[in-house]
Amino acid sequence: MSETILVPRKLKKKILSILRDEFGIEQFEFEIFKSGKRRLWICTKDLAKLDLRGLRLHSIGFYFGELDDNLIRLSFDATQVFAKKIKKNIIEINDEQAKAWFEGYDIKIPEDIAERYNERYVVLKYKDDFIGCGKVKNGKVWNYVPKDRRQEKDIDEYYDVITAEYE
């Protein structure tokens, strides 16, 4: 198990720069911690002020994403928390694509969009909601929806089964 540490000032500056350049996130009022080589966690500045010396923490705050060289893949939760601040690298998807995404599949996107965002992370928007972040590669957005959050059955079918039990 790797230890969680507060990121050094230089790395924090780099992360904030990536967030601004890639997602348009201008204001960021959190402290950033790192565990392992790539995993990023965030918490409030007040929590970060606590004396954590001597504690071996697996994580602190909530999982924010992964550092991927000069890019960041936002976690599923981070796309929700920062929904009002994300202004760039947004791809809107339709019903069919959203269904495939929640089932854990990579989704095909139009060629011009794939070329524009190739090898970059994008946030997917379905109707009024952000539903995750994936990397554009080979004409698809690679799926990173956690397995425990994937939709196994068509939600309409599931709803029909449950409501039938109560009739």
For each successive 10 residues of the chain (167 residues), what is the average pLDDT? 80 96 95 91 82 69 92 94 96 93 92 96 95 95 79 57 53
Note the pLDDT of residue 51.
Answer: 74
Q: Which domains can be identified in the chain, with CATH numbers?
A: 1-88 (3.10.450), 89-167 (3.10.450.720)
Note the pLDDT of residue 30.
Answer: 94
User: How far is Cα 19 from Cα 5, in angstroms, rounded to an integer?
Assistant: 20
Note the pLDDT of residue 3.
Answer: 75
As given in the structure block, the two tokens for residue 56 are 């071996």
Note the pLDDT of residue 149.
Answer: 62
Note the pLDDT of residue 61.
Answer: 82
Does the pTM surpass 0.95? The reply is no
